[in-house]
Amino acid sequence: MAGFAAWHVVWHHRHMGNYLDAQKSRTWDRTTIKTLRPPSEVTVGLLGYGLMGRTIARTVASMGFPVLAATRTEGNSDPGVTRVSGADAVKQVAAQSDILINILPLTGDTHDILNADLFAAMPSGAALIHLGRGPHLVEADLLEALDKGQIGGASLDVFRQEPLPSDHPFWTHPRIVITPHEASVTSPQAVTDALVRSIRELDAGERPTATVDKTTGY
């Protein structure tokens, strides 16, 4: 999943959709590069810091992006990752995120958490990468935020109804990238490697990355 998330971070950071549009019209357009910011100036926010969240955070931070991770409880974080804890952590992280990745578990508190209020708190033109659960997202709110330009683009891997109905407006929206619930698909070897790494971390007295906080879920 970390590689999947990282690909979408690069997609939004480099405005790759613009290049595809230019290719369709056979236009040699290099205007995007003139406004491109270095990764060090693009904050990536992460909602959720369990097994998958920590792995994504490590990968994105290694690419040079500053990472903020929303958690309910305080604790250690990985190099390049700033942990933001407390009841208002999600909104605090969203408000500072040029690219926001959601990997939260679905609970009563996180249902509909990706809504108009959260989008309004984000920097204008920010991107959303939604890899959590379908009911996290208020779909109508996202469409409105995209059409107003408050959200500049979205990558969506999970949906309230799956498969996504063929007449759903997400399919044809120019600022949305859709994948069919593929983010967590991995190889058996990758699973084995993660377990071995966690065993070694336990032996070294570290918190294993292959765990999820069972009280908070993230």
DSSP secondary structure letters along 92-128? HHHHT-SEEEE-----TTTTT-BSHHHHHHSPTTEEE
| 133 in active site | yes
Q: How far apart are CA 168 and CA 140, in angstroms?
A: 11
Q: Which of 8, 12, 54, 133 is catalytic?
A: 133
SS (H, E, C) 125-155: CEEEEECCCHHHECHHHHHHHHHHCCEEEEE
Q: Which of 15, 173, 181, 197 is catalytic?
A: 181
Question: Could you give the dihedral angle defined by the CA atoms of residues 152, 158, 161 and 163, in that order, rounded to the nearest 10 degrees?
Answer: 110
Q: How far apart are CA 73 and CA 120, in angstroms?
A: 25
| 181 in active site | yes
Measured in degrees and rounded to the nearest 5, phi and psi for residue 69 equal: -120, 125
Q: How far apart are CA 146 and CA 140, in angstroms?
A: 10
| Contact predicate 82/57, CB 8 Å | no
Token pair of 136 as six digits: 């996290």
DSSP character at residue 177: E
Q: Just list the catalytic residues.
A: 133, 181
